[in-house]
């Protein structure tokens, strides 16, 4: 499959990607490894924004399932994403990559508020921008936050880094015969409930014609490969 070439992308990472082999929290070695992937992509000439989930620290929906007020639990999850963003910023800057964190919840002592024009200026100056705290409101996932920021920043694509090498018709970790898709339409993803991202995020990407590229972020060097049109991935885009 020949994939389109992109210049400005939004990279969505799960909070679990920062756990490494731990069962909880932030593994510094894992964060440094991911930062190296981002640096390699940056050095290849791409402009990058990041959104990182918070599931390694606190997941709002899980808290709500245990009886917490959903809105309160979601705000706690947003704060977890800020912690992850600051950890990634630290790792990137130790590698010499200029980085700015912008949070949808104001916390001026540790990061900037989300200001679209300022974020655009950071990208133009060669910095990586990490968007934290989702959309700043409860009942929305970080997938939705990633799709929103990708649209705001006029990104060419949304790259979702996972622990598998694309989208399958079943869980490849549980079903040995699961088949991987090279390419899918937004309609197929929504109609078949393929769990690429949550439905509102997929719909937002569809409405703004932002392809979603799903790939394995845990394979060293894979982000740069997929950005170059190589490597294994699934692309979700509008039907021709």
Instruction: Walk across the sheet containing 99-103 and list its strands.
Output: 112-113, 99-103, 128-132, 47-52, 8-13, 157-162, 212-216, 233-237, 183-185
CATH number corresponding to 8-237: 3.40.1160.10
Whole-angstrom Cα distance, residue 106 to residue 164? 34
What digits encode the pLDDT tens for the residues 39-55? 999 999 999 999 999 99
Q: Name the residue ranges covered by the structural domains of the chain.
A: 8-237
Confidence category of residue 83, pLDDT binned at 50, 70, 90? very high
> Smallest Cα–Cα separation from 186: which of 166, 167, 211?
211
Query: How many residues in total does the chain contain?
Result: 240
Q: Write the pLDDT tens digit of every residue in 127-144.
A: 999 999 999 999 999 999
pLDDT band at 2 (very low <50, low <70, confident <90, very high): low
3 confidence band (pLDDT: 50, 70, 90): low
Give the residue ranges of DSSP H helices in the chain: 28-43, 60-65, 70-94, 116-124, 142-152, 186-191, 199-207, 222-227
Whether 79 shows a pLDDT value over 90: the answer reads: yes
pTM here is: 0.94
Give 98's Cβ-side CA count (13 Å radius): 9
User: CB-side exposure of 78: number of CA atoms within 13 Å?
Assistant: 24
DSSP 221: T
* pLDDT tens string 176-190: 899 999 999 999 999
């Amino acid at each position: 499959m020949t994939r389109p070439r992109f210049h400005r992308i939004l990279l969505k990472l799960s909070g679990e990607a920062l756990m490494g082999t731990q069962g909880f929290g932030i593994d510094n070695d894992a964060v440094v490894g991911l930062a190296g992937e981002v640096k390699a992509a940056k050095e290849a000439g791409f402009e990058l924004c990041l959104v990182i989930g918070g599931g390694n620290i606190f997941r709002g929906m899980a808290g709500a399932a245990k009886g917490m007020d959903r809105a309160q639990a979601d705000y706690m999850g947003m704060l977890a994403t800020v912690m992850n963003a600051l950890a990634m910023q630290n790792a990137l800057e130790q590698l010499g990559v200029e980085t700015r964190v912008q949070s949808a919840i104001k916390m001026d002592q540790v990061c900037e508020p989300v200001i679209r024009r300022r974020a655009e200026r950071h990208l133009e100056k060669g910095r990586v921008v990490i968007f934290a705290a989702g959309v700043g409101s409860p009942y929305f996932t970080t997938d939705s936050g990633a799709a929103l920021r990708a649209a705001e920043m006029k990104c060419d694509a949304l790259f979702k880094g996972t622990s598998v090498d694309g989208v399958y018709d079943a869980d490849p970790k549980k079903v040995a015969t699961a088949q991987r898709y090279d390419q899918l339409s937004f309609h197929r993803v929504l109609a078949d409930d393929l769990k690429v991202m949550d439905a509102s995020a997929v719909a937002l990407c569809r409405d703004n014609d932002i392809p979603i590229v799903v790939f394995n972020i845990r394979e060293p060097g894979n982000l740069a490969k997929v950005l170059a049109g190589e490597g294994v991935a699934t692309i979700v885009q509008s039907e021709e």
